[in-house]
Amino acid sequence: MTADRKSKGTSLVVPALIWWLVLLAAMMVNGTLRVLVLQPRLGQDLARQVACLSGIGILLALTVPFVGAAGDVGARALFGVGALWLALTVAFEFLFGRYVSAASWESLLADYDLRRGRLWSLVLLTVLFAPWLVSLVRRRGSAA
């Protein structure tokens, strides 16, 4: 990795933190719409699944401008951004869920149970891989 690419990778921390707040706001809107619009029509389980799938779309769509603004950074830096976003997301989920929403640990952990049709783990995988994946798609698109 060139020194320039390495410095760009380390300079991504502050923009990544700021952009995570944008992602957080968008996902909170998605969750609010799930509760207010989808749940009454689809029931809790299907509404959660639909919201997870729409959340994945939102995450990918909002990662596009971040990656575009980041410029030419390597995969390692993009995975670092994804790992930062993942850590912040999981920390927020458990801290907010437990101490603000007063959710039980059992209900918080239930969102990770794929056997029960809970797709939250797929959202978290998207959070982790989105910067790298969007960069990969952008590079392939510009090479064509």
At 73-121, the pLDDT tens digits run 999 999 999 999 999 999 999 999 999 999 999 999 998 999 999 999 9
Q: What is the pLDDT of residue 31?
A: 96
Give the pLDDT score at 143. Answer: 67
d(Cα 122, Cα 135) in Å, to the nearest integer? 19
pLDDT digits (tens, 9 = 90+) for 24-60: 999 999 999 999 999 999 999 999 999 999 999 999 9
What's the whole-number mean pLDDT along residues 56-70? 97
Only one residue has tokens 């619009």, namely 37
Residue-level pLDDT at 58: 98
Q: What is the pTM of this model?
A: 0.89
Q: Which of 129, 138, 142 is nearest to 68 (CA)?
A: 138
